[in-house]
Structure formats: C-alpha cells, structure tokens
Amino acid sequence: MKLACLIIALLIWFPAHIIAHELPELGDVSQASITPLQERQLGLRIMRQIRADPSYMDDPEIASYLENLGHKLIANSNEANANQLFEFFALDNPAINAFALPGGFMGFNSGLIIAAQSESELAAVMSHEIAHVTQKHLARMIAAQKYDLVKYLAALAVAIVASRADGQASQAVLVATQASMIQSKLDFTRNHEKEADRIGLSILLDAGFDPQGMAAFFERLQRAGRFHENGAPSYLRTHPITYERIADIQNRTRELPYRQVPDSLDFLLVRAKLRALQGNARDAVLQFKTRIAEKRYANEAVERYGYIHALLRAKKYKQANIEWGLLYQVLQSDSIAPMLTNHRLGKTVRVESKGIIADAMIETLSARVKLANGETTEAFNVYKTALKIYPQYRALIHGYAQGLIENEQIEAALEFITRQLQLIQNDPQLFNLQAQCYELLGDKMLKHRALAESFLLKGHYAGAVDQLKTALQNSNGNFYQLSSVEARLKHVQILREEADKAEK
C-alpha cells in the first residue's frame, strides 16, 4: 500500500470513524484553536514524508497545471484568506482520490485526474477540497483531537514502515490505528462534506466552469462503488457520498442555465501524459498504439502526444522521433485551435516560423525527444525559442538551464538561474541547478547555500541547517557572502525551533 493511500485513509479526511467532538459551529472559521503556523508546520511534517515517497510526482508540467487550475479557483473564492498558502501536487497512484492536508497542501492522485471526463469535473473536486481548507475543517478536527493526533501520527509512521516491508503487517497496523480513532458523532463529517459541496459549487460557478461537473463526477463514483463494493473508489471511503448530497447539488444547479465549457488543451495533455505514465511501459505503448490505429480518440494530436510520452518511457527513442514527425503534421492544421479557447494564456499562440499552434507542453516534449535522440543543440534551441513565448513555464526553464550547463556555459547558466530565482522563489529544482553551477565553478560555500534553500523549500529544516553549517566550513573568502550565510543560518535555526514547538 502506498504512502499516499495511508495518508488519505488514516490521517486527513476523517471518514465516519474519525469524527471530532466539541468543535466550533460550522461556518465560524475563526474559532479553530490551532494556529496557522501550527497547521502549516503539521502540513510540512506530513509533506516531508510524502515528498520522500516514490509515489510523489516531482513533475513541473503536472504541478504547473494543477497550480494554475487551483489558483484560478482560489481567485474566485470569497472564503479564501489572502494569507492562506496553497500548494497543489500529484501522486502516482491509480486510486481515484484527492485530499487536503493541514496548511493548504492538496494532493490529487493520477487516477482521479484520468477518471475526470472533463476539466469541470476535476475543477469540481478541487473546489470541494479548497472549501475544506477555507472553512478550517482540518484545523478544527486537529485542534479537538490534538492529544490523540500525536499517537495517531506515531501509528501512521509505523504503518508507513510496515507498508514497505509487509502488506499484512501494514494492514494490521491500519486496522488498529483506525479502531483507536473511532468517534460517535457521524453528522459532523456529513455536515462538513455538505458545506464543502455548497461552497465548492459556488467557487466552481464563479470560476466559469460547468457546475454540473460536480454532481456528474460524484454520481459516477457512487455508481462505481455500488457495483464494486470491495473495490470502491478511494474517494468514496474518504469522502462519504450519499444520495442526499448528490440530490442537494442537483437541486442547487437545476435552475442554472446550461453552460458548455470546453476543456483546456493543458487538461487534455496532462491526462494523456498521466495515462502514458501509468502501469507497465510496454502496456502503455500498446494501448496508445492500438487506440491510434483504430482511431479511438477524441483528438488525434492529444493521443499522439501521450503515445510519444509512452515511447520515451519505454526507451523507444527512434520511434518517438518518428511519431513526433506525425504529431507535427497534425499540429500544422487548425484542428487543435478550438481547444485553446480556455488555454493557459487565454489566447492562441501561433509560431509563424513553424506555421503551427504552439503549447508549452508540446514544445517541452519536442525538446525531450531531441535530447533522447542525441540532438542536444536542437533541443537547446527548442527550449530557447519556446521560453520567448512561455517565459514563466517551469519545465522549459529547467530544461534551458540544464542545457546551458551541459553545453558548459556555466556562467550563463548561473546568470539565467539567478534571474529566474528573483521571479520564482519557491522552486527547489532551481536551487539544485544553481548548486550544480557553483559546484562546477568550484565555489563550495555558495553550492551548499543553494542546497540549503532547496531543503528549506521542502520543509527540511534540519537539512537546511546542516547545509548552511557546511557552507560556513567552506568559506570562499568573500566577507559579505559569509555574513549572509551566517545570518541565514540564524534565521533558519529560529524557523526550526518554531517548527519543533508547533509540533509539540
């Protein structure tokens, strides 16, 4: 059993057996006694475990899509606090589930993204999770069960270790942990779910998505659970969906005018990429190849995009290059243009020199295919050209920086990365690339300073402290840089102490 499933099933979405008692009245978000700092630190504590697990998808394209969609929804939430931080991430897990952690962290299983038949359905689930965060549902549950939560986290850690060695041992720990947390007030969870439905539906509507997507997705999951009792979707076990809830959503949307919302190209490409990454690589290649041969697809360009990802994963690089040529031909037509009505930038971008519709994900794939076939110069040029159109796209930024390093343009790479870090301050990979540059330039102090920032962004305070101490031990003789590292170490040590206090 994967870590993500354990986190979902045991810690967060308090199904019928994890119900808080003596909590503030619903709707009064000011009465949660746990502080925002404590909530954030608890979330970071859990995220440290999640990021270390193989199921965590450290993919800038998928993360970028979820982040863009999430912040589009948050911008239309009247409940969102300006100081509330949100972070969206994906897990490589076929189970249909999504969850929110303390501190605004939100996880989405690849299985759920693939199962969503429209972007409005995915947005419906995301808006529901956002509502749980803005209404402080998690904070109240944690505040009311603070003592039990310590024992609960300890049991969770045991379950995580057991899950990697012995499935039966893990299951025994899970059962014991669940039994220890059983509470009596079932209505509390149901009321939270109904409140998240109501507020989430409002967010969905105000953000311009089809409000019917919420009821449609929940109803389909409920049918799946009814016919597959032993293998019901995980979302049903962690978010109890009742006929009453679905009926309530349908009643709220019945009088609304019909709204046909086209899926964004990014949504379709992300789903295709996730399909290519699921299961066995050979099976993924065969599935895409068969669907293309039989023309069983809604859009040929999207299907070929996924097929190329599957081929790269299977290390069939020459075939991927051939398929890229076929995808290029499809992109030369305007058949893909209608999908760009809800595009990332809200407009169609045409590269005149190529005569095709450009998309950051497609350009990134083009560079990856070229790199896989040894065409490093061509790949570097793709990154360079695409960045002029999409200067803030993380995958292109990472690829271009890595290309500069591999072409031994270290000074240029360092200048580019440093400039990007002035604009993007929450990207651990950029700091890792910066550290790589400093290492190649022989500056150990600044290398470890950069690594410390990467650790800090991931919530690893101890690791950040160690890196800063190592940086001080490798002084480069620059007084100002040395003073900066010393000041940073003192600041991080304070953060570490505050985090330790918040967890007690």
Nearest to 457 by CA among 433, 429, 494, 428: 428
pLDDT at residue 154 is higher than 50 = no
Rounded Cα distance, 355 and 468, in Å:
50
pLDDT at residue 213 is higher than 90 = no
- Percent of the chain whose pLDDT exceeds 90: 48
Which pLDDT value is given to residue 124?
92
- Counting every residue written for the chain, the total comes to 504
- Mention every residue, 6+ apart, whose C-beta is less than 8 A from residue 483: none
Task: Cite the DSSP H helix spans in 181-336.
Answer: 186-206, 212-227, 234-238, 243-254, 265-277, 281-293, 300-313, 317-331
Which pLDDT value is given to residue 240?
55
Rounded Cα distance, 319 and 417, in Å:
33
Average pLDDT on 471-498 reads: 93
pLDDT digits (tens, 9 = 90+) for 172-191: 544 444 444 434 334 446 77
Mean predicted lDDT score pLDDT of the chain = 79
Q: Which of 4-8, 98-102, 138-142, 193-197 has the lowest mean pLDDT?
A: 4-8
> Can you give the residue ranges of every domain in the chain?
3-254, 262-374
Nearest to 379 by CA among 388, 389, 369, 387: 369
In angstroms, how far is the first alpha carbon of the chain from the final one? 29
Average pLDDT on 423-429 reads: 90
pLDDT at residue 105 is higher than 70 = yes
Q: Which of 175-179, 190-194, 281-285, 453-457 has the lowest mean pLDDT?
A: 175-179
Which of residues 392 and 345 earns the better pLDDT score? 392
pLDDT at residue 204 is higher than 60 = yes
pLDDT at residue 222 is higher than 90 = no
Is residue 455 very low, low, confident or very high in pLDDT (cuts 50, 70, 90)? Answer: very high
Burial of 497 (0-12, 13-18, 19+ CB in 10 A): exposed
Which pLDDT value is given to residue 502?
61
Which of residues 17 and 269 earns the better pLDDT score? 269
- 3-state DSSP call for residue 235? helix
Give 3-state DSSP helix, strand, coil % of the chain, rounded to 5.
70, 5, 25
pLDDT digits (tens, 9 = 90+) for 298-320: 999 999 999 999 999 999 999 99
pTM of full prediction above 0.85: no
